[in-house]
Amino acid sequence: MKIIMLGAPGAGKGTQAKMIAEKCGIPHISTGDIFRANIKQGTELGRKAKTYMDQGLLVPDELVCDLVVDRIKQDDCERGYILDGFPRTIPQAHALEDALSAIGQKIDYAIDIDVPDENIIDRMAGRRSCPKCGATYHIKYNPTKAEGICDVCGGEVVLREDDKPETVKNRLSVYHEQTQPLIDFYSERNALAEINGVQPMEKVFEDIVNLIGA
């Protein structure tokens, strides 16, 4: 089962990816995790990626794809995997398709967690995080026991800069411009599945499980 998770920032695709990976017994692969692992291990690909990141530059699509393909060739991906955060653009999707074809693979499902922009802005504006320990909350869906105080370490929880409505609107604008065309890309390949992401998290998960027959 080879799955790509699609959806705007804040749509909940990362949470669903982790739950599906656990249910199916396959790895949840995020590009951020791959970068960190390769840099930490000092691999050749990791060193190449670090030279771009240290200069504040985007890692080229070909190198990102090489890192992803290197990861999915590992033994724990034999039964499948879930890609979260890649591909983000059409050139990346083409690069991934060509790389997978070269090793006799293709994506089974590109699952789009569909949530309207206004819902995402509302969701993210309610998120709070603890700078000290990294715990995350939501003022409506997962509030702290004591207002403004982290349940884990007692630190003050804050609204992160990238969760502020004006920042979220900018992130959504980039998403619609760069990433949303992937929906058409995978639809043309009969691999797209759209899931209503406005439902409760458990119902979204149930719909995905029914879709993939897990």
Instruction: Name the token pair of 11.
Output: 């749509």
Instruction: Name the token pair of 175.
Output: 């998403």
Across the beta sheet with 109-114, the strand order is: 28-30, 81-84, 2-6, 109-114, 192-196
Which helix (H) or strand (E) element contains residue 30? Answer: strand 28-30
Which residue is associated with the tokens 């990791």? 46
Residues with active-site annotation:
13, 88, 127, 160, 171
12 and 119 in contact (C-beta within 8 Å)? no
111 and 2 in contact (C-beta within 8 Å)? no
